[in-house]
Amino acid sequence: MSETPELSPTDWVRDQTEKVLAAGTTDAVQVMGMQIVLYTTVGAKSGKQRYTPLMRVEENGKYAMVASKGGAPQHPSWYFNVKAHPEITVQDGDLVKTMTARELPAGEERDHWWEVAVAAYPPYAEYQEKTSRLIPVFVLE
């Protein structure tokens, strides 16, 4: 595993991450007026640490990672990283901790977290309408 996590090759994702790192807090970045969380995952194939900023979906100290990719037909690349290496570093504000992710199967618990996610970031509902795949949701505990 690499020592320093890699920044995304995608400009807007890299820009968000750089702002968080420079300020030392995720409070430095908002998307549509909403908070984000910075996750550090480990590459499924490369083993390299990678930063993944996502919308803040939190309830009672647990977090959800929503693999929406804007409603694209395929999962985001980080999805496979989390499946392969579920130990994730979570930065919310200036609080940093390690949590374990598990993908939620279709059912009551996933439905609950989906509602929490849509309440936190309403465009998730539109993203689900744009794709035939059931958007994966991970809960981090």
| Number of domains forming the structure of the chain | 1
Share of the chain above pLDDT 90, in %: 84
Residue 82 lies in a domain: yes
pLDDT of residue 6: 86
As a whole number, mean pLDDT of residues 23-42 equals 91
From 75, 71, 67, 55, select the one nearest 128 (Cα to Cα): 71
pLDDT of residue 136: 98
Q: Would 6 be classed as within a structural domain? A: no
- Domain residues for 67? 11-140
For residue 71, the domain's CATH number is 2.30.110.10
Q: Domain for residue 114, yes or no?
A: yes
Sign of CA dihedral 45, 50, 55, 57: positive
C-alpha distances in Å from residue 48, one per residue of 73, 85, 102? 25, 11, 20
Torsion-angle region of 118 (φ positive above 0: left; ψ -120 to 50: alpha; else: beta): alpha
Q: Is residue 98 part of a domain?
A: yes
Buried b (16+ CB within 10 A) or exposed e, 95-106: eeeebebeebee
- At 127 the pLDDT is 97
CA distance 113 to 135: 12
What integer pLDDT is reported at residue 12 of this predicted model? 85
Q: Given a cut of 60, is residue 1 above it in pLDDT? A: no
Instruction: Compute the mean pLDDT over every residue in the chain, rounded to the nearest whole number.
Output: 94
pTM score, whole prediction: 0.92
What's the mean pLDDT in 11-32?
Answer: 90
Q: What value does the mean pLDDT take over residues 89-116?
A: 97
Residue 39 tokens read as 């996750």
Region 60-78 average pLDDT: 96
